[in-house]
């Protein structure tokens, strides 16, 4: 069997085209252009690329974007002051703090300082709490991208055994929460999974991953998931982005696993482009919530 390759880039393009139409309609109605402000501290090269990609995507769909660059020697208080300034700026609807920040800055208080109504990455404890309770304001971007990808390829999650390798606050944990919900905006087939979350202390990991109907790798280890860790016919979602001497590779041994799986995401052109699309989605959602609150409709 050779797996069907799930084209994240194409789905991301489809979502961005839909969002561009919605942005045009909404902007005409409210005479406000949704705006995403990105905050970049230091000069990490990968972060600069990520922020640039996010700004380009904003432009493509008709959103405003701002880039606030601060030098690596910026103090914690200066970062907090900028977040506060953006919180109070009615022209800014979404705030994104690009991670990682320099070691001298403690990221948690900075993320906690973002107005939850502008928290388009959905990292604020209030937004995480809302997700846990099944009444999210924003869905975290990478897990939401994965959910959209499965939905648009008509791969139902309901009743399936989903195994997620990785328990980070950005990917593994929120994805588990999302897929175990009773319902969501995409309907009950996109949730209602039986979810297992694995990590570096999980004994006999392959015995668990082999039970997965849908296996998600969010580990950060190049080509960690081998063919013998995958149930024949499974759907394999590779979140990993690892820069190696051979170029960009995921957490899954793509060439070997595609001979076992029924569906698989590649790296690049897999989950990555969807993350950016869902950030745009959240920025429009943030503008809708803020402007509706301001003018009651």
State how far the Cα of 149 lies from the Cα of 151, in Å rounded to an integer: 5
Pick from 24, 25, 183, 200: which binds ligand NDP (CB under 6 A)?
A: 200
Residues 116-155 binding ligand NDP (CB under 6 A) are 142
The smaller minimum CB distance to ligand NDP, of residues 20 and 205, is found at 205
Residues 218, 236: contact at Cβ < 8 Å? no
What are the C-alpha distances in Å from 283 to residues 22, 139, 178, 251? Answer: 12, 11, 19, 29
Pick from 42, 62, 116, 240: which binds ligand NDP (CB under 6 A)?
A: 240
Pick from 272, 277, 282, 290: which binds ligand NDP (CB under 6 A)?
A: 272
> Shortest Cβ distance from residue 145 to ligand NDP (Å)?
7
Which residue in 16, 115, 119, 121 is the catalytic one? Answer: 121
The smaller minimum CB distance to ligand NDP, of residues 239 and 264, is found at 239
Residue 160 annotated among the catalytic residues of the structure: no
State how far the Cα of 112 lies from the Cα of 192, in Å rounded to an integer: 30
Given the DSSP bridges, would you call strands 242-244 and 247-249 parallel, antiparallel or unpaired?
Answer: antiparallel
Residue 242 within binding range of ligand NDP, rule CB under 6 A: yes
- What's CA 222's distance to the chain center, in Å? 20
Residue 201 within binding range of ligand NDP, rule CB under 6 A: yes
The smaller minimum CB distance to ligand NDP, of residues 11 and 241, is found at 241
> Shortest Cβ distance from residue 178 to ligand NDP (Å)?
15
State how far the Cα of 193 lies from the Cα of 156, in Å rounded to an integer: 9
Pick from 41, 219, 230, 278: which binds ligand NDP (CB under 6 A)?
A: 219
State how far the Cα of 85 lies from the Cα of 229, in Å rounded to an integer: 49
Task: Give the count of beta carbons closer than 10 Å to the beta carbon of residue 35.
Answer: 22
- Give all strands (DSSP E) within the chain, no chain letters: 4-5, 35-41, 64-70, 94-97, 161-165, 194-198, 214-217, 235-238, 242-244, 247-249, 263-264
Residue 235 within binding range of ligand NDP, rule CB under 6 A: no
Which residue in 98, 148, 285, 290 is the catalytic one? Answer: 98
Residue 44 annotated among the catalytic residues of the structure: no
Piece of the chain touching ligand NDP by CB under 6 A; list 37-45, 85-93, 104-112, 238-246: 238-246
| Nearest alpha carbon to residue 121 among 86, 96, 92 | 96
Residue 171 within binding range of ligand NDP, rule CB under 6 A: yes
Pick from 12, 92, 170, 260: which binds ligand NDP (CB under 6 A)?
A: 170
Which residue in 16, 54, 118, 253 is the catalytic one? Answer: 54
Q: Which positions are catalytic?
A: 54, 98, 121
């Amino acid at each position: 069997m050779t797996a069907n390759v799930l084209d994240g880039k194409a789905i991301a393009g489809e979502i961005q085209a839909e969002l561009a139409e919605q942005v045009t309609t909404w902007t005409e109605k409210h005479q406000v252009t949704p705006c995403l402000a990105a905050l970049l501290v230091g000069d990490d090269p990968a972060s600069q690329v990520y922020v640039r990609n996010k700004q380009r995507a904003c432009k493509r769909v008709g959103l405003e974007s701002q880039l606030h660059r601060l030098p690596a020697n910026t103090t914690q208080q200066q970062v907090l002051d900028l977040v506060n300034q953006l919180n109070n700026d009615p022209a800014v609807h979404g705030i994104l703090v690009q991670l990682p920040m320099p070691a001298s800055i403690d990221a948690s208080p900075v993320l906690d300082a973002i107005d939850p109504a502008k928290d388009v990455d959905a990292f604020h404890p209030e937004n995480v709490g809302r997700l846990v309770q099944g009444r999210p304001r924003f869905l975290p971007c990478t897990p939401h991208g994965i959910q959209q990808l499965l939905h648009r390829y008509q791969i139902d999650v309901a009743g399936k055994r989903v195994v997620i390798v990785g328990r980070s606050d950005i990917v593994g944990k929120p994805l588990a929460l999302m897929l175990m919900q009773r319902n969501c905006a995409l309907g009950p087939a996109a949730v209602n999974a039986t979810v297992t979350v694995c990590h570096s202390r999980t004994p006999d990991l392959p015995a668990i991953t082999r039970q997965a109907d849908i296996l998600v790798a969010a580990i950060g280890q190049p080509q960690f998931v081998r063919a013998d860790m995958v149930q024949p016919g499974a759907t394999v979602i590779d979140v990993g982005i690892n820069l190696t001497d051979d170029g960009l590779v995921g957490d899954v041994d793509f060439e070997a696993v595609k001979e076992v799986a029924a569906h698989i995401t590649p790296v690049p052109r897999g989950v990555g482009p969807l993350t950016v699309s869902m950030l745009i989605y959240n920025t429009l959602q943030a503008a809708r919530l803020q402007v509706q609150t301001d003018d009651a409709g």
